[in-house]
C-alpha cells in the first residue's frame, strides 16, 4: 500500500472562462498531518530548491504549505534570464494561478483553516499583495518580502488580510521610500492591520542562495521569526 508523503509535487485545476488547464506546485504537510494553509510565492528565479526549502520549513512549523510553480517548470540562476521570465508572466496570469492554488489549498483535507496565509519573496512579494487584494476574506495574512515586479497591484482596497511587510533599507530594486509609501497606501485604502519592518540590508536579504551577495543571516532570521509568529496568529 502506497504511503502518503509529506512533501510532494502536485497538480491543481486552473479554471478560466472557456477551459480548465492544470497548475503545478510543491506541497509540504506538517509532522502532525494537518494545519493552517499557507501559499508560498516564488522569486523571479522560479520554483527553486530554495523556495521548496522555505515551504518545508513552514511545514515544520505546523502549516500545510503550497508553492505554486508560476513558470511551469522553468528555473534559472541568471539575473537577465530571470527578468525576462518574470516579464513574460502577465500579472493576470499569475493572479489566476494563485487564486486557483488558494482554492485548492482551502479545499484540501489536511488544511484546518478557513482562510490561508500568503508569503512571497521578490516577485512573489508583489504577488502576495495582489492575491490578498483579489481574494479578500480568503487570505487572512499577507507577508511580502521586498516585493517587486508587475504583480504589485495599483489598488489595495480589496485587502482584508493583516499585512506584515519585510523590506530593505538599501534595496536598489525597490527603494525604501517606495516601500514606506506602499505601507501607507495599504493602510489608507484597505483599513487593514498593517506593519512593515525595515532592515539594514539589501534586496533578497532572506535568500541564502542569492547571486547578488546580499544575504544577511541576522536580518533573515529576525524576519523569518516575525513571519512565522504572525502567520500562526492570523491564519485560522
pLDDT tens, residue by residue, 112-129: 999 999 999 999 999 999
pTM beyond 0.85, yes or no: yes
Assign 107 a pLDDT band (cuts: 50, 70, 90). very high
Residue located via cell numbers 532570521: 221
Is there a domain that residue 1 lies in? no
Range of the domain at 27: 7-234
Is there a domain that residue 210 lies in? yes
Q: Which residues of 48-73 are buried (b: 16+ CB within 10 A; e: fewer)?
A: bebbbebbbebbebbbbbbbbbbbee
Distance CA 99, CA 127 (A): 11
Is there a domain that residue 126 lies in? yes
- Whether residue 146 is predicted with pLDDT greater than 70 in this model: the reply is yes
Q: Which residues of 31-47 are buried (b: 16+ CB within 10 A; e: fewer)?
A: eeebbbbbbbbbbbbbb
Is there a domain that residue 118 lies in? yes
Q: How many CB atoms lie within 10 A of CB 221?
A: 11
Provide the CATH number for the domain around residue 138. Answer: 3.40.50.1820
**Is-contact 157 132, C-beta < 8 A?**
no
As a whole number, mean pLDDT of residues 64-85 equals 92
The model's pLDDT over 186-203, given as tens digits with 9 standing for 90+, comes to 999 999 999 999 999 999
Domain count across the chain: 1
**Is-contact 159 192, C-beta < 8 A?**
yes
Is there a domain that residue 2 lies in? no
Altogether, the residues listed in the chain come to a count of 236
Amino acid at each position: 500500500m502506497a504511503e502518503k508523503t509529506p512533501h510532494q509535487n502536485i497538480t491543481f485545476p486552473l479554471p478560466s472562462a472557456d477551459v480548465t488547464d492544470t497548475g503545478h506546485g510543491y506541497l509540504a504537510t506538517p509532522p502532525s498531518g494537518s494545519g493552517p494553509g499557507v501559499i508560498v510565492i516564488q522569486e523571479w528565479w522560479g520554483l527553486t530548491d530554495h523556495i521548496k526549502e522555505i515551504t518545508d520549513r513552514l511545514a515544520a512549523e505546523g502549516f500545510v504549505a503550497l508553492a505554486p510553480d508560476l513558470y511551469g517548470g522553468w528555473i534559472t540562476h541568471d539575473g537577465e534570464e530571470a527578468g525576462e521570465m518574470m516579464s513574460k508572466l502577465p500579472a493576470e496570469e499569475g493572479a489566476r494561478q494563485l487564486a486557483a492554488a488558494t482554492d485548492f489549498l482551502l479545499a484540501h483535507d489536511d488544511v484546518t483553516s478557513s482562510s490561508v496565509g500568503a508569503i512571497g519573496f521578490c516577485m512573489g512579494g508583489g504577488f502576495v499583495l495582489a492575491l490578498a487584494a483579489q481574494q479578500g476574506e480568503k487570505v487572512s495574512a499577507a507577508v511580502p518580502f521586498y516585493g517587486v515586479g508587475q504583480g504589485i497591484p495599483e489598488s489595495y482596497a480589496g485587502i482584508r488580510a493583516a499585512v506584515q511587510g519585510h523590506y530593505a533599507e538599501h534595496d536598489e530594486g525597490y527603494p525604501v521610500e517606495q516601500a514606506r509609501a506602499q505601507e501607507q497606501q495599504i493602510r489608507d485604502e484597505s483599513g487593514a492591520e498593517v506593519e512593515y519592518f525595515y532592515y539594514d540590508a539589501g534586496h533578497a536579504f532572506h535568500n541564502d542562495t542569492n547571486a547578488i551577495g546580499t544575504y544577511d543571516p541576522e536580518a533573515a532570521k529576525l524576519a523569518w521569526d516575525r513571519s512565522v509568529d504572525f502567520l500562526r496568529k492570523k491564519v485560522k
